[in-house]
Structure 1
Amino acid sequence: MNQGIIPIREKRQQKGWRMTQTWEHLLFAHWAVSPEAIRSLIPAGLELDTYDGHAWISVIPFLLTRVRLRRLFPVPYVTTFPEINVRTYVRAGSTRGVYFLSLDTSHLLVTKIAEYWYRLPYYHTKMDLLVHADRIDFQSERFSAGADAAAFRGSYWPVSEPALARAGTLEHWLTERYTLFCQCKKTNGLYCANVFHEPWMLQRADAHIRENSMLAPFALPISEKPDLLVYARGVESFIWPLAKLSPFEGERSR
């Protein structure tokens, strides 16, 4: 866990981004599910993406650092905080990306900004992340008013050397995605945003998950143990503004 995060090498080539973030100490906990079990959670206009006939859902705890908007200095007390995401894998036309079913963070201001700018289903959550020499300890418990209960408590650590995922492998399919899709709650319109970072350096991981009810609100038939665990020390990222998904793209994905 001692290797550094991966910085963007040619920042001058990236133009038009709105926000930069660094994602650190990520656990990618993945479960295979039948497409039928998850299709109703995906809005019309997006196509569920599959690998060898399976859809996948992931729970990803991590630490956000160096968060700032373009042309602005970092705001004190807003630049570093933990987060946990639940996501699945979709496409619109030929573009593959991720669709977030929920995002939880401890920073209330950030949840409001993300909901407004990126139409993402954020929840305000009590959480804590501690980095030890041999493991990461992470715990969260949602307390947003009117939200379904969801919690995660566990420890995780890498068990292999870092390496780039080979094209065509499941690890590459799950992680090398550079578009997020979302739906506006008010209009039901579909949007997308591009994301850029250098390719992930991934490590096989192990974990002691003491509690995980992050998937309970979606009533998915999954096993207690994830089908795949992967750790990443982290990457620097740029995120572009939302763009409305064109009706043509949506129709191609039906």
Structure 2
Amino acid sequence: MRPFLTASWRYLLMLNYEVAPEVLRPLVPRGTELDTWQGRTYASMVGFRFLETRVRGLPVPFHQNFDEVNLRFYVRHLASDGWRRGVVFVKEIVPRQAIATVARVLYNEPYVALPMRHVVEMDGAESGAAGRVEYAWKAGGRWQHLSATTRGAPVASEPGSEAEFITEHYWGYTAQRDGGCAEYRVEHPRWSVWSVDASQLEVDVEGMYGKQFVPFLHGKPSSAFVADGSAVAVYPGARLSPETHVPPAPDAPRAA
């Protein structure tokens, strides 16, 4: 199958917070269930560069390179080939109104368009020099941002680690207006990650994501790192069958 979208996702800053399951359950699409790492449920603030974007193989003028910031959490779906680990987005911020509109209208993805800016100072970081990334957006009349400084060279995430759990997801799930769920596959090689010396999240949590997230998206995150990123391919979505259900089961083995 031909990808719907190809791009390069680079310098993915991920700030990961433990969130109470009861906050996330109302947002879980039909046919999926919350995924956990060592019994904990997470939501991640993620900022990255979205580069060299092509739709059906064609570049879209003025919409090839931009920033994205999203709040996401983690689910799994039991398919005929076993458990599929995926993400659900609470909100996705981009600077282009056309991108946000198409994603909302055609796919019911929770995109908004806001002014954005970034700082990526990663020259020499592959060899271990300190680096810095920041992704910012303007909402409610003020700039908000997430940022971090890196240390050392990027390394592959350890099998079974929290970093692997956060980065190695290859499916997306989106609740549809009629109560159903769409599933799409995201293809990319395994990413390496930089450790983070310091991170910061400055955000109007209630205004952006709702008051239910206020107790959780603050202070020092449970973990923080920057993934190097790579070329990615996003394949056309398909609806999950209405009969799809998730039977009670112990935690599934984590895919490498």
Q: TM-score range by the shorter chain?
A: 0.7 to 0.9
8 A contact 1:150–1:213 mirrored in 2:
no
CA RMSD of aligned residues (A): 2.3
> CA 1:59–1:52 in 2, change beyond 3 Å: closer, same or farther?
same
CA 154–183 in structure 1, closer or farther in 2 if over 3 Å, else same: closer
Task: Tell me the distance in 1 between the aligned counterparts of 2:211 and 2:75.
Answer: 17
- The offset of 1:25, in angstroms, is 1.6
**2:148 matched to 1:156?**
yes
In the alignment, structure 1 residue 63 sits paired with structure 2 residue 49: yes
Q: Secondary structure at the match of 1:249?
A: coil
Q: 2:212 aligns with which of 211, 215, 219?
A: 219
158, 169, 192: which one pairs with 1:166?
A: 158
Is 2:71 the partner of 1:86?
A: yes
Q: Judge conservation of contact 2:88–2:174 (CA < 8 Å) in 1.
A: yes
Tell me, in whole angstroms, the C-alpha distance in 1 between the residues paired with 2:175 and 2:24: 16
Q: How does 1:173-252 map to 2 (within 5 A)?
A: 173-184=165-176, 186-209=177-200, 211-214=202-205, 216-217=209-210, 219-220=212-213, 221-222=215-216, 223-252=218-247
Looking at both structures, which has the greater relative contact order when contacts are Cα pairs under 8 Å and sequence separation is at least 6? Answer: 1
Deviations 1:163-202 (A, max 9, x none): 1112211111111010000012x31210100010000111
CA positional deviation for 1:155: 2.9
- Report the counterpart of residue 96 of structure 1 in structure 2: 85
Say whether the 8 Å CA contact 1:45–1:253 is kept in structure 2: no
Moved over 6 A (4+): none
Deviation at 1:158, TM superposition (A): 1.7
Match of 1:246, SS state, is: coil
**1:247 is paired with a residue of what secondary structure?**
coil
The number of residue pairs the alignment matches comes to 233
Q: CA deviation at 1:216?
A: 4.4
Partner of 1:139 in structure 2?
Answer: 136
What one-letter code is carried by the residue in structure 2 that aligns with 1:182? T
**1:205 partner letter:** V
3-state SS, counterpart of residue 157 of structure 1 = strand
Answer yes or no: is 1:39 the counterpart of 2:25. Answer: yes
Name the counterpart of 1:75.
Answer: 60
SS of the counterpart of 1:85? strand
Residue 102 (structure 2) pairs with residue 113 (structure 1) = yes
Q: Could you tell which deviates more after superposition, 81-90 or 239-248?
A: 239-248
Cα displacement (A) at 1:77? 1.1
Q: Distance in 1 between matches of 2:90 and 2:210?
A: 10
The Cα shift of 1:39 comes to 1.6
The TM-score normalised by the length of structure 2 is 0.83
Partner SS for 2:61: coil
Q: Which runs of 5+ in 1 are unaligned?
A: 1-14, 144-148
Query: Percent identical across equivalent pairs?
Result: 28
Contact persistence 2:47–2:146 (CA under 8 A): no
How far apart are the structure 2 equivalents of 1:34 and 1:155? 24
| Structure 2 residue matching 1:250: 3-state secondary structure | coil
